[in-house]
């Protein structure tokens, strides 16, 4: 099964203290908690989903393609073509008006294989390749307190959601590490917004506008929802633009993004700063 790959291909990671101090304030009238994933709910070796940055992994990519019967010419740089395809997809989306476009990584893998052979592998093989590549370049592991915090919030009847830069394998990863479906962890489908499905990535406020429509259908105003993330731009600025309360997760040096040189983050303050996930339980 695809979910087994995350257990087989990842080893335990521990968060690296960021040196930031927690700023804990009791937040009243919070009726939903929405999470980022990479760098917040899971430790990420790169601090983010791997396609958010270019990483040169020629040997890894070439190995996966060769294993599926693709012949790679001597002058063919797989990693250059891989990231060129991503760039082209972004440019096409931007031409259609998307400010922060996101790719569907399965489409990228399909186009990459078609550069080398007439017919691509079946979808399951492509998914295995994409998962194996992600695990090779971006090892991940659950953040300490992940399950206990979600369980505690769910027991209070708090609906949980996700707004994340992600790919098809991201929910599979969470289910693999916890052994539970997202619904069993308390996540509500209507409150979960995935970048690869929307073809938009953070810091697009449109992702949070979609979330707000779902919150509204539940009778929840934006200021009654708390968004938890590790990036001052992608998470705190974007969520605050949509009217949500914000919690900066500063629990891992790898993923903490303070964005101090970005004008949008000048003078921006999250409502709370947490250095451990379990601190959420005490402020709500």
Give the tens place of pLDDT for each residue, 118-168.
887 888 988 988 998 899 889 999 999 999 999 999 999 999 999 999 999
Output the six-digit token pair for 180. 């539970």
pLDDT, residue 117, reads 85
Contacts of residue 23, Cβ cutoff 8 Å, sequence gap at least 6:
270, 272, 273
Domain ranges for the chain, please list them. 2-46+140-283, 51-137
* Distance (Å) of CA 65 to CA 68, 78, 119, 182, 196: 5, 9, 13, 31, 23
3.40.50.1000, 3.40.50.1100, 3.30.70.20, 3.20.20.70: CATH of 2-46+140-283: 3.40.50.1000
Looking at residue 53, the DSSP 8-state letter turns out to be S
Indicate whether this model's pTM tops 0.85: yes
Strands 187-194 and 225-229: unpaired
pLDDT, residue 46, reads 87
| CA 232 centroid distance within chain | 15
Helix, strand, or coil (residue 183): coil
pLDDT, residue 2, reads 63
């Amino acid at each position: 099964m695809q979910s087994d790959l995350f257990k087989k291909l990842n080893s335990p990671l521990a968060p690296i203290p960021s040196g930031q101090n927690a700023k804990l304030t009791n937040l009243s009238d919070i009726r939903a908690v929405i999470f980022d994933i990479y760098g917040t709910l899971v430790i990420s070796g790169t601090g983010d989903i791997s396609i958010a940055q270019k990483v040169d992994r020629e040997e890894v990519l070439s190995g996966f393609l060769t294993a599926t019967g693709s012949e790679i010419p001597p002058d063919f740089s797989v990693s250059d073509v891989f990231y060129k395809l991503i760039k082209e997809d972004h440019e096409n989306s931007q031409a259609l008006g998307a400010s922060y476009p996101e790719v569907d990584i399965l489409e990228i893998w399909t186009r990459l294989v078609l550069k080398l052979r007439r017919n691509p592998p079946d979808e399951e093989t492509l998914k295995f390749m994409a998962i194996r590549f992600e695990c090779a370049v971006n090892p991940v592991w659950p953040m300490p307190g992940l399950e206990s915090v979600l369980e505690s919030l769910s027991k209070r009847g708090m609906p949980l959601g996700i707004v994340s830069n992600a790919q098809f394998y991201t929910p599979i990863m969470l289910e693999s590490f916890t052994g539970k479906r997202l619904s069993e962890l308390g996540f509500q489908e209507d409150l979960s917004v995935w970048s690869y499905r929307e073809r938009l990535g953070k810091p697009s406020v449109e992702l949070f506008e979609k979330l707000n429509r779902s919150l509204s259908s539940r009778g929840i105003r934006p200021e009654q929802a708390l968004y938890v993330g590790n990036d001052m731009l992608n998470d705190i600025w974007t969520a605050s633009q949509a009217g949500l309360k914000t919690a900066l997760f500063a629990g891992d040096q790898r993923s903490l993004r303070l964005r101090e040189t970005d004008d949008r983050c000048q003078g921006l303050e999250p409502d709370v700063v947490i250095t451990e996930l379990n601190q959420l339980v005490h402020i709500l």
